[in-house]
Amino acid sequence: MRLLKESLFALACWTVFLASPALATGGQLNLPITTSDRVSFVLGERSHDLSPQAVLQVYVGASSLCCDDKTPMSGTYGSEDGVVTFEPSFEFLEGQPYTVKTLGREMTEFVIAPDHTPNPPEILAIYPSGDMIPENTLRFYVQFSAPMAPHLSEKFIALVGADGTPDHEAFMSFKQELWNADRTRLTLLMDPGRIKRGVAQNVRLGPALIQTESYSLMVKEGWPSARGPMNASGFEKTFTATLPLRTRPTVDAWDVALPGRGTLDPISVTFDRSFDRFQTLRSISVKLPDGTPVEGEAMLEKSETVWRFVPDQAWDAAALELVVDSRLEDVAGNNFRETLDHTVGTDTPMPAHIVIPLLLDEQ
């Protein structure tokens, strides 16, 4: 995109040559191509004494309405070697007509065209990202590259068995789809009635996923983006169902690898199972013993079985705490307090946060 714009600039008709014979103050006006560009004017020979504001001013609106009784846009002027530049205090708006008044008389209108050639939306990933996932997996996430049009998931998404038969009752159907705030991530909730043993849907239809069998989560081509006519291409995630996960997770089963003090190496936690990706990214944090969070970046790897945290600044304190929200769920919806599929009254009392003390050695 950037290349395209630069080549346009090199070729283009955006340079306007002005000649005012009466004043003999011709010059060359360069108009902005993108919203963050400046306006510049190359002065003719005899107009170097003018103030920058007398050389050029930019006004909001069409040239036919300019510029009596109008206040010019605020911005910063520069003047060097016969070139006057104007950088607006705020970026120009796409689609808004502006008028440049040069040398106090010439009016030149310009519009920065809205960027109509964005990349079409893409499906970046479907989570869980592993190709072997428990048969009682509770949620799938579809991650798009751009905001998408809502209310189309049932039309475009299907869970298909190895024999090509779609299962139209695999996912919960809500009035409202489960999107994140900017509508780039859709949560698909497997019908818990199919997962929980002995409840009506489970008895009538059986589980949606059966261990050792293969499935495809298919997203058909053509899902429109929220902002325009661009459609996403298709996406297919193939996986095999494995043994169900029906135990509560416990941090005792985690393997924690610690960095040395003074380094920027990550803390690395290897889980015994795959956890829910987006819950994990907000449910585990590194804190000082007084509760101050350590700033840094958390990431998940290896099919959401490894959590790594790289600090913004080299590790300083020796004593740290890994704090885990006990409501964090594995991919099958089991949290540290209870399994998804449990008998009533068997919850295990558990504090809101599980704290794992960490002690870093000198490098």
Partner 1 sequence: MKSVTLAVQAALLAATSLAGAAVAQDTNLDLQFAGALEFTDDGTLFVGDNYQGAIYAFDMSDAVAPAQVAPVNIGDIDVKIADVLGVPKSALAINDMAVHPISAEILVSVTRIGNFESAPAVVSINQGGAISILDLASFASQKQMLDHFPDQETTFRPRGLGQMPPLVRDEAKGNIKLASLAIMDMEFHGGELFVSGVAFDNFLSTLRRISYPFDGTQEAANVEMYHISHDQYETRAPIRAMSIHEIDGKPQLVAAYTCSPIVLIDLEEIVDGAKISARTLMDYGNGQPLDMVSYTLNGEETLFLTSNSRSPHVIPVASLNGAKAYMPEDFPRGGKSDLSPMMPVGDTGKAVMFDGMSMHIAPLGENLFVSLTRDMYTGSLNMDSNFNGFPNRLHNLVAEFDFPQYWADK
The site for partner 1 (CB under 8 A) is made up of: 35, 58-61, 70-74, 88-94, 96, 98
Of the two residues 62 and 314, which places its CB atom closer to partner 1 in the complex? Answer: 62
Nearest approach, Cβ of 68 to partner 1 (angstroms)? 12
Give CA torsion, residues 341, 345, 348, 353, to 10 deg: 80
List Cβ<8 Å contacts ≥24 apart for 298-304. 300/275, 303/128, 303/129, 303/130, 303/131, 303/132, 303/274, 304/127, 304/128, 304/129, 304/130, 304/271, 304/274, 304/275, 304/276, 304/277, 304/280, 304/331
Task: Answer whether 293's CB lies under 8 Å from 327's CB.
Answer: no
- Three-state SS letters, 206-237: CCCCCCCCEEEEEECCCEEECCCCCEECCEEE
Nearer to partner 1, 147 or 192 (CB): 147
Smallest separation, CB 147 to partner 1 (Å): 10
Output 94 or 347, the one with its CB closest to partner 1. 94
CB of 59: closest distance to partner 1 in angstroms? 7
Start-to-end C-alpha separation, the chain = 45
- As measured in angstroms, the least distance from the Cβ of 60 to partner 1 is 5
- Shortest distance, position 144 Cβ to partner 1, whole Å: 17
Which C-beta is closer to partner 1: that of 59 or that of 215?
59
CB of 240 to partner 1, least distance (A): 38
- Could you tell me the two tokens for 35? 């919203």
Q: Which is nearer to partner 1, 146 or 195 (CB)?
A: 146
Of 254 and 278, CB closest to partner 1: 278
